[in-house]
Structure 1
Amino acid sequence: MRAQTGDWLVIKGPVVGKPDQRGLIIEVRDPDGAPPYVVRWPQDDHVSTVFPGPDAVIVTEAEQSAAEEAERARLEAVQEAIFTRHWS
């Protein structure tokens, strides 16, 4: 696993229905990008040093932005479908 500052650490939900945890990597101590990483967790602004396990992946800023945009588009589509069905 290799990362750089600005990447996102994504820890997959442990069971179906549990959301993934996403944290912004704010410091990579190893010049090769190996763990541990200093991560800021946006849900509570907590900062911690993390040695990621096998349930974690590194996502680039571009990949994270694309995922957030896809999530927004899905939400808008659902809201539009609900609105259209309700008011039709």
Structure 2
Amino acid sequence: MEILGQLLPFVFLIAIMYFVIIRPQQKEAKTRQEMIMALKKGDRVITAGGLIVVVYKVEEQFLSVKINEEVVVKITKDSVIRKYEDEV
């Protein structure tokens, strides 16, 4: 019984860490993964490098993106941070 009293604060701290840190990160990762899977030609996205590019072609693990009218490059899907919405 004495051991249970000593372990209870640790269990409580672990529960708080789960709900404050781990669970929100898992939700954010799931939302980001769903966004990446839903990308289609013509979507504007922001890359990890800070470039705003247009999706030209969607492949299984890569995206071909247009930087400008002449330049098309291939990037990994993981390098997409978020979709770019024109916010004025």
TM-score of the superposed pair, with normalisation by structure 1: 0.45
Q: Work out which structure has the larger RCO, using CA pairs closer than 8 Å and 6 or more positions apart in sequence.
A: 1
TM-score of the superposed pair, with normalisation by structure 2: 0.45
Structure holding more helix per residue: 2
Structure label with greater radius of gyration: 2
